Structure 1
Amino acid sequence: MQTLLFEQDVQRIADDVTGPITYQPEVVSPVVAQAWFAALHVQGDWHASTRMMYERLVGVPRLHCHYAVTDPALPKVLRDALIVVRQHVDAPFNSIGLNFYRDEHDSVAPHNDKLHELVRHQPIALLSLGATRTMVIQRKQPPRLKTALELETGSLLVMGWNAQLNYDHGIPKLREPAGPRISVAFRVRPERENKTW
């Protein structure tokens, strides 16, 4: 994987040894980002899900959907977004996962992506659309450095494969009102027969 970091406004959150993790605002303009958000809000195949927590079934606090890049049902807006992301990150993305944070109550707990679900040494690229939300990125080992990163609409966060070993990331709930946000995550998944994306 090669991340194309020639842009001057790229912010480096983690170095190449433990990451890399980089952030770049306005990969797409606010106008385009808003149009893409509106399209995905309507066209996304959104689902709610549940999980076991503390021995009881609870709702996951966000909606989600997934597409294979080769899926004939892939919305055109995601095809357009993929073209843009590939201009910034040199990776053979084949999976697109979306999370819809409806308001300040929706969140995702600190976690790292499961490495067995990713192709080794390939990155994750996260395009943010809609309202700005804070992502907290924390190193797993001492010093447990923590970064609170404001993910603006149209921005691109890129996490190297190695970053999943060394950092957790999450979107906390907020006490104050927040507008809706869609995150679009581009990944390289292992090719498997009958894979459900």
Structure 2
Amino acid sequence: MPYTDIARGSRTFTTPRKQSEERAEITRLENELRAFVAIALQHGMRDYCEIRHPELTRELEEGLERAGRRAEVKYAYVMERLAQVPGLMASTGETGERTYYRNSEENVAYIEHSLWSKRFILSGIWVAPTHRGKGVAHCILRQLVEAADEAELGIELHHEPFGEEGLDKPALEAFYNRHGFQHHELTPGAMFRIPRSPLDHHGRS
């Protein structure tokens, strides 16, 4: 904006470079404010945010609601795919957080899962002792990660060994590493798998 230099009594103008710097600074401050309000909302300070920044608060809450609905749609898609593991029949447990697999004769395996914080939570894959070493867990997990990649849904893994009969912790981690799970700062104490794009898969083929 033009302004008057009182000392010299003449009009001067802001240079394009100065205008660009000012716009960049305004954008930076706006982004910092959005981040502050978002963090405050996560820590139960909604009343404060609503009083001080009502429009921004509503905008962020609406965005979170949309993101939550999108995550639910993605989760439903992944669950639909998990019911289609080749060679196995699937059924869902009473709570909806466990999927059982059986062949034509008996129960073979189950997987524990849920949706939390817009992530697919994997709490374990259990395979019946008589079916271990036959690739059952690999087949189920491959179906899961392929579906999660298609849905662009991250997977957070919380898995401890099932007693002495299953893999120990290092062997479990190695198994999940082969499917793209890594220790990540986003999930302390757990492992995380970031969705891969078709280009990622092409590069690994």
Same fold (TM > 0.5) = no
Bigger share in helix: 2
Give the structure with the higher percent strand: 1
Q: TM-score, normalised on structure 2? A: 0.27
Larger Rg: 2
Greater length-normalized contact order (CA 8 Å, ≥ 6 residues apart): 1
